[in-house]
Each structure stands twice: as structure tokens, then as C-alpha cells.
Structure 1
Amino acid sequence: MLGFRLTPDAQADLIEIRRHSIQQWGAEQSQKYLCEIQNTIGLLAETPALGKSRPDVGADVHSFPQGSHIIYYVIHKQQVVVFWVLHKRMVPVAHLTERGLT
């Protein structure tokens, strides 16, 4: 099993997911959904090959769906590094420019 960490962008994504889900569905449902995302990240740390290779986003990038979101990550120094948690309707390549990654 690998460890995992969240980048500041991924942390900001989770904060926004929490804010939006509390507003739309309430605190209890928000907490449940965030726990599901956390459990999925733990699963990816156990089995990083579960994710889909995403060369369209970047070298060595993988993604894995969780509910209405997609978790984007790389494997670096024995860690699953989650760098985005985006809604499935979002275009990941657009976030490269938006977040200054190109």
C-alpha cells in the first residue's frame, strides 16, 4: 500500500465540494459524500493501478470516478498524489491553463 497526499488544489476542490454539497443537500449528506471520496482515495493508495491512464491531461496522470466527481492523481515517491477532484462535467485540460499549469 502506498501513502497518499492531497495538493493544495485538491484540498481547495474538496472545500468547494463540501460548500456546494452542504448548500444543496445538507451537512449530513455532505459529510457522507466526502467520506466516500476519502475512502476512494484510500482504495487508490492500496491499488493505484485501478485508475485510468490520462495522457490527455499529463504524463503519468491517472483518474478514477467517485460519485459525481473524478479524482486525478499521479504516483510519486511511493505516494498517490491527488492533485484535482473535479466534477465529471468539468474538462480537465481547461484546468491546466486556469490553474497556471501550462
Structure 2
Amino acid sequence: MAKTPFLLRGHARADLVAIRKYTIETWGNDQWLSYKKILLQKLQSLADDPEIGIQLKDVADNAYRFPLKDQVVYYLKRKSDVVIVGILSNSMAPEQHVLRQQDLTQD
């Protein structure tokens, strides 16, 4: 079965850079490499089966979130791919970080 592509929007890439920096500073590069592998596998799983997440109908019909360890992944399900719009700490308020109109409307 072909894998569904996923894209990381600019904000999600920035979130990933921050997670990387924090993980390396706190636990070292080996831990980052281990976590990165798990994270990329989970992002691919979300792309392959996006409806396993929790739908955010108050945001958009195609908006979802999925808890992953200490983060929550926010993403959009589209016809041929999934767009990751944010990867936030559980303690962060998503409305201040992820729910950006340009992420919801750009194809």
C-alpha cells in the first residue's frame, strides 16, 4: 500500500526545531534521534489514517489533533495528503499557536 504524503507547514517545522533543540539540550542527541524516529513514524501513521485523530469541527471540517507523548499534533486532512500545521506541548494553548487562517486555506 502506498504511503500518503504529509507536509510540514512553516509553523510545524519551527515547532519541530524547538522540540529538537530542547531534547538535545535536555537529554542529548541520541535521545533526539530516537524520538525523531518515533515522531516521523507517527506522522506517517496520521497521514495514512488521518481520522484516528480527534476532529476539530469548530476550526474546520478537515482539522484534527492527535496526542503524542508530551505533544499534540495538529493537522489538516486533504484529498491527497495531510498537512501538519503544528506540534505543540500539551501545556500550550493551540488557539495562540496553531489555528492560523493561512494554514487552513492554503492548498
TM-score (norm 2): 0.83
CA RMSD of aligned residues (A): 1.6
Q: SS of the residue aligned with 1:36?
A: helix
Q: Deviations over 1:41-67 (max 9, x none)?
A: 0101111110101234x2121011111
Contact 1:36 1:66 in 2 (8 A): no
1:32 alignment partner, one of 34, 43, 55: 34
1:61 alignment partner, one of 63, 68, 74: 63
Structure 1 residue runs without a partner (length 5+): none
Q: Percent of pairs identical after alignment?
A: 31
CA distance in 2, matches of 1:95, 1:63: 13
Query: Across the two proteins, how many residue pairs are aligned to each other?
Result: 98
Displacement of 1:2 in angstroms is: 2.3
Counterpart of 2:104 in structure 1 is: none
Displacement of 1:72 in angstroms is: 0.4
Q: Deviations over 1:18-44 (max 9, x none)?
A: 000001111100111121111100101
CA distance in 2, matches of 1:66, 1:48: 14
Contact 2:74 2:98 in 1 (8 A): no
Structure 2 residue runs without a partner (length 5+): 102-107
Could you list the runs of 4 or more consecutive aligned residues of structure 1 that deviate by over 4 angstroms after TM superposition?
A: none
